[in-house]
Structure 1
């Protein structure tokens, strides 16, 4: 289900903000576009203007990533690891397939080294920033279980919701992993992504009403996906707790009759 939800959001994003299908349809004389609210379609431009990333809908702009964040793009901290207590610290292993795996993080002693501006919040974007094969992987944080930070191998991008819809920026960057990977420099095995280079990345900024329209569509999908992920985690934990007890005989399985399955094939 989560794979389907992800693909739905990305399909609409590509149609609206990469291929500009609704604008092209309007330019060709269409009076509506399937899946787009009519009031939104009515305010669409019907022409294109040149930009640094190619032709874009008239009235939309392209801005560097550095102008769309609430604080400068920064690399994480050098953690002071601890086995107990502390706060969660995410690393490059936690970012894969556009997902943030919180379970692969470690623990950081924030009393020894305070988090300062490196605390992770919901809808922040994490970019793997070192090493061939890992550099360029991107994921957006949809949920957090506790106070969390990132290590120095990750770049932390904090969307400014007053300038761009966070979900829109998150999908934009995750769709551009190959492009971000090419920004890396250095010798084989020592490749680094300069945070200033990342900040110079041009980002399409649609008119505010189209950002809000996409956010209204995508946010429920994100919330459902987050809920599903939590449910899977709970069920997996229950399985891992109960299965050994059932196998050892410490816990007896209910009878078929109790399950209402007596006589079923």
Structure 2
């Protein structure tokens, strides 16, 4: 390390401040992010801190650091940077990711960090020009990762909207019924009025070859049960069936045993699977892996966490070679063309809410895997599911490719971070001194489809 770097106390480099109390019952509707030690935990109509902001956990989740580009309210479980003292804000964000928080923990059952102890930590820091250069290098990687995530979220919105239009709202059937002059059930009258408006603005909402796959009439059924509350209720398209997902997928078909297990596994758990994204894959030797690391996963599988299903621990599996927790219900499509339908039918918001409602157990609420795969849906003929697959399969692949790229970019960033922040690896100070716009916190509820 050259003499350009200096060793100072963290408290002399920046000032950390405890966040503010804001019980949930006192929060008002608004768009101001409320930040807890685990990230965005809600919204409010008032901000306590103006951007740019850097927040880390004080109590509960320790070691996570968040950068905010909008006004926000940091909760009292956090510490936020009150004064950057003339240093680069993005560099401070990355610097705080390298701090040994647990050396300043009070060692209680629920971890907590002493702010005064943090301020006394010795850190090595470069001049402001090199701070900006380091932030630019790391920020460029984060920008690309976030760009990929945003693209995947946008594609997810499109695919989910198409799924809802075809298989929940039955728009193509309504269009055909309107064109044929057939009667529309009362439950679908509002949707029919909307589709009539679409027809007047666009003569062909779907290409003729696709529209011909759908009927022009509805039939009444009492078989939808709880699933019908989120669709047309008692009405399904003529020629469709009410059937469980077990008609399209098998449940937990493959598991490791001591006889067939590999020496090493790539493991995903409910904790690192959220809203369609696998946030971390952990490698273990099979002998030292958690006892629940038993489900063999294949590309195209859907995994859905059965414990606390409202936590939305689900994902679409893009790659071979992963092992999942026995806490997942693994739905393996019987045919490649069923992959997207199985995933989307299982993970739409109404189904997640239903599974959360059906979960048993006060302290450890869980839904049986059989309940997930046996939940009934309005099931179209195979050729319609195949047509849907052909439309979205390329999107599925592209989302998987961006997710794989993000895994590599994140690994590169995590490798560079400690080397750059320690001065072991130097960057030219002539690098651009501004960091592009980026959001390092995802504030949306919906997760990335297949991400």
1:13 aligns to 2:171 (yes or no): no
Q: Which moved more, 1:40-49 or 1:117-126?
A: 117-126
Q: Which runs of 5+ in 2 are unaligned?
A: 1-150, 180-198, 225-233, 433-451
RMSD of the alignment, in Å?
3.3
- CA shift, 1:121, in A, is 0.6
- Contact 2:296–2:322 at 8 Å: present in 1 too? yes
The 1:222/1:130 distance shift into structure 2, 3 A limit, reads same
User: Which residue in 1 is equivalent to 2:47?
Assistant: none
- CA shift, 1:6, in A, is 0.6
User: Which residue in 1 is equivalent to 2:354?
Assistant: 179
User: Which residue in 1 is equivalent to 2:341?
Assistant: 168
Q: Where in structure 2 are the equivalents of 1:1-265 lying within 5 Å?
A: 1-29=151-179, 33-34=204-205, 36-51=206-221, 52-53=223-224, 54-69=234-249, 71-73=250-252, 86-101=264-279, 103-105=280-282, 107=284, 109=286, 118-131=295-308, 133-134=310-311, 137-144=313-320, 147-161=321-335, 165-175=338-348, 176-185=351-360, 187-254=361-428
- Contact 2:331–2:373 at 8 Å: present in 1 too? no
Q: Which moved more, 1:104-113 or 1:58-67?
A: 104-113
Q: Give me the TM-score of the superposition, normalised by structure 1.
A: 0.78
The 1:249/1:139 distance shift into structure 2, 3 A limit, reads closer
- Contact 2:217–2:238 at 8 Å: present in 1 too? yes
Could you tell me how far apart the structure 2 residues matched to 1:86 and 1:247 are? Answer: 32
Q: Give me the TM-score of the superposition, normalised by structure 2.
A: 0.48
The 1:98/1:238 distance shift into structure 2, 3 A limit, reads closer
- Contact 1:137–1:177 at 8 Å: present in 2 too? no
Q: Which runs of 5+ in 1 are unaligned?
A: 80-84
- Contact 2:309–2:367 at 8 Å: present in 1 too? no
- CA shift, 1:138, in A, is 3.0
Q: Which has the larger radius of gyration?
A: 2
Could you tell me how far apart the structure 2 residues matched to 1:75 and 1:197 are? Answer: 19
Could you tell me how far apart the structure 2 residues matched to 1:254 and 1:239 are? Answer: 17
Q: What does the per-residue CA deviation read over 1:184-206, in whole Å, with 9 as the maximum and x for residues that have no partner?
A: 22x31222212332332103321
Could you tell me how far apart the structure 2 residues matched to 1:248 and 1:106 are? Answer: 27
More strand by percentage: 2
Q: What does the per-residue CA deviation read over 1:52-89, in whole Å, with 9 as the maximum and x for residues that have no partner?
A: 223111111121223322x444797899xxxxx62123
Could you tell me how far apart the structure 2 residues matched to 1:42 and 1:133 are? Answer: 38
- Contact 2:310–2:352 at 8 Å: present in 1 too? no
Could you tell me how far apart the structure 2 residues matched to 1:50 and 1:74 are? Answer: 35
- Contact 2:346–2:372 at 8 Å: present in 1 too? no
